[in-house]
Amino acid sequence: MKKKIKRIQIFRLAVQLLMFILSPGLFILAFSGFKSIYEMIIKGDLNFIQVFPSLIEFVTAIIITIVLGRFFCGWICAFGTYNDLLHLLSKHVFKINFKVNEKLDAALKYVKYLVLLLLIVVVWTMGSSVLDTTSPWDAFALITDFPQVLSDYTIGVVFLILITVGAFFVERFFCRYLCPLGAVFNIFSRIGILKIIKPSEKCGKCRVCTNNCSMGLPLYKVESVCGGDCINCFKCIETCPRNNTKVNVLGENINPELASSLAIAAMVGLYGVNNLGGIALAKSGLTTTSSSSTNTTTSTTSTSQKYTDGTYTGTGTGYRGGTTEISVTIKDNKIANIETVSNQDTPRFYENVESEIISEMISNQSTSVDTISGATYSCEGIINATQDALTQAEASSTASTASISTADESTTDTSTGVASSDSSVSTSSNDNSSTTTNDETSTANTTDDSASITTKDTVSYTDGTYTGTGTGYRRGTTEMSVTIKDNKIISIETVSNQDTPRFYENVESGIISEIISAQSTSVDTISGATYSCEGIISATQDALSQAKV
């Protein structure tokens, strides 16, 4: 019997390879968008319009998934393509024909929900960094810079190797059992309008559809499939010897080639529209808001005047020798507030520990606090910068104390002179009056000095456009232009970069929008394009350092 050409599978493979080359990190960006939405919801500050530019990939994928099913997984996802290519290699070159027991396969498919739950609870909710270097996705997305990936994602590389071995024996091993994004799409895809129907009365006993299903679904048991673990690969349709399996949309059977073409066109078109919308929002300024953080906790009382009231800025060395700049506010001889001015740290590590370390220092009124495991260097940068600022406040207090002491000695001498002469009582009174006036002047001067310190050390920018440079992917140089107006960042543009275009373009608008929105470079990098993000962030920080008054 002559085998028919599987045109859908040829078309699908072509789309997969094209997306693998053009957007290998798209699945990471989509999952990062889901993470961002969750974190904003639990913090109670979800502003969809404001953060939309960084959610484009997830919004596109979830809309198509809800309406048409998991075409993203079956046709677009680069990690899914990687699994498919490994299976083709094992099947046709190494002749491996391993089959998983049906009951075991069904049980193992629940593991991906446990992986998703683990990420949500431990990483997203608790803020732990313990799993930061374990992602096989990140390791895969940055695999072209293998020495760096091996250093930064050692455990992730180990998991990637294990997944690779698993994919040789089980088709779509990662997608079936471990993919947290697949777990999300599994839930949302069940309400779609596209189904695969298979009337049992027209079926034989061949089970060809089941044997060829990429996700190992027991199709012989059902008459239709809508979403869930189905990734719309359409293998079941092309392999059915009776042409019994059909694609059905809203009750009507349609050509599977037409269905797949329309689905891919819809996804590409929606992605393009979302990108244009995100760029328009960023340029319109609708995503820009001014933000500030205030940390308040109880503090201990000091009996001696250790610090002079005011705001002081200190610097310290954080992760990879980067500079962390911290602003410390002293009020009534106490540490009233600590804020990050800037940092050259890895955002995801820094933000995981920032609030906790700051709260501990304010609570203890001391920099003698424990660092947090997994982000030691980030903690040390904050602590050292805070200590530097406190040293300035302490020195200012010492100088003020010395000045007051000198004034007191002068006052004592005058009083003694007055007391030694009965005839100079009247003069003594005048002198005391004069002394009071001088004390008031001294107090006024001290207040002015405090105000001067506050003004000097509070970060502010001079209006204008500044250009800064940073280090991006593979140590390439990224150059950014930052425009300041009315002491705010109103525009950030790329001047040049030596990055990989597909990675850079995928994250550029999202990272820029977040920096403008936060009015700070302390923003999360996007998994799968970490180095590209760091290039943009560090170049922006360099420009801002030039703009500081």
Find the mean pLDDT for residues 53-60. 85
Say what the pLDDT of residue 454 is: 35
Residues 6 or more apart whose CB falls under 8 angstroms from that of 393 comprise 307, 308, 310, 312, 328, 330
The helix (run of H) or strand (run of E) holding residue 316 is: strand 310-317
C-alpha 408/C-alpha 404 separation (Å) is 6
Check if the beta carbon of residue 186 is closer than 8 Å to that of residue 111. Answer: no
CA-angle at 37, arms to 36 and 43, nearest 5°: 90
Task: Please tell me the distance from the alpha carbon of residue 416 to that of residue 212, in angstroms, as a whole number.
Answer: 106
Would you say residue 420 has pLDDT above 50? Answer: no
Residue 531 Cα distances to 55, 123, 491, angstroms: 19, 21, 22
pLDDT of residue 150: 81
Q: Which two tokens stand for residue 244?
A: 């019994």
Confidence at residue 33, expressed as pLDDT on a 0 to 100 scale: 84
pLDDT band at 146 (very low <50, low <70, confident <90, very high): confident
Structural tokens at position 305 = 């005047």
Q: What is the pLDDT of residue 372?
A: 63
pLDDT of 176 strictly over 80: yes
Other Cβ atoms less than 10 A from the Cβ of 219: the count is 23
Q: What is the mean pLDDT of the chain?
A: 80
- Pick the more confident residue, 367 or 302: 367
Give the mean model confidence (pLDDT) for residues 251-274. 92
Query: Cα separations (Å) of 104 from 109, 164, 165, 168?
Result: 9, 20, 18, 18
Kindly state the average pLDDT of the residues 324-335.
90
CB-based burial label for 436 (10 Å; 0-12, 13-18, 19+) = exposed
Cα distances from 144 to residues 54, 76, 77, 174, 314, in angstroms, run 24, 20, 18, 21, 38
Per-residue tokens: 100: 């998983």
**Res. 289: pLDDT tops 60:** no
